[in-house]
Amino acid sequence: MISNNNTFTAKKKVLPVFLTVQAKNEKLWAAKVGKAHLREKVFLGLEEKMEIYLIIGLGNPGEQYAHTRHNAGFEVMSRLEDRFGVKLKKKLLLQGATAEITDGEKKIVLCEPLTFMNRSGECVKRVKARFQVPDERMLVIYDDIDLPPGKVRVRKNGGPGTHNGMRSIAEQLGETNFPRIRVGTGDRPAGQDLAAWVLGHYAAEEKPMMEEAFDRAANSAAIWVNEGIEKAMMKGNS
């Protein structure tokens, strides 16, 4: 009987200790969860205060389209990746590849639509909505056959022209009241098919001037973020 009483007493002592440890663990867990929620709120609050700049380069995904005339936007984006030290990553829900850079009170989002050129607007619409970017803080970079090879034009806004990627964006957004950088690739020779021309590669003598144009366009995009569209037009137009 004495042994049984001792066992019963020991059990009574162990039970409160267990409950105490459990209660402490629950409090610690609640504190951690609370801190996590607080950090999330702080992060979201900071992001809301940031000015977000969205830079989109148009092109076609896939090795077979790399370095073709229609991929001038992608060429410029690769230079912006190097400039900011980031790599674009595929985001299936956004239908594109993106990278984010925080620069003081600004956030820069780089994006390449992976929908193919004629459906670029589907990605642009999603990314613009995801980051809640106003028109004036979205910049689109693309090729333009109406400009001579190597020419760069920065504009505050304008229509889509004959560019299918820009037409897709206009269709999805309902307007084109946003800045853009056009990189001239030159028009096709008389009688040549347009699709074959824009999906073709640069001639050897064109490559140096195009490389310089891609660099100027990337620099113009950085000026746009830091100094605004007027300065980007003044310094970037060639």
* Catalytic residue annotation: 70
- CA 187 – CA 185 distance, rounded (Å): 7
Cβ–Cβ < 8 Å for 226, 213: no
The residue among 150, 149, 169, 145 whose CA lies nearest residue 54 is 169
The residue among 51, 68, 50 whose CA lies nearest residue 59 is 68
How would you list the strands of the sheet with 96-103, edge to edge?
A: 89-91, 96-103, 106-113, 51-57, 138-144, 180-184, 152-155
From residue 159, alpha-carbon distances to 170, 176, 221 in Å are: 8, 6, 19
Neighbours of 154 (CB within 10 A): 26
- Reading the block at residue 23, the tokens are 């209660």
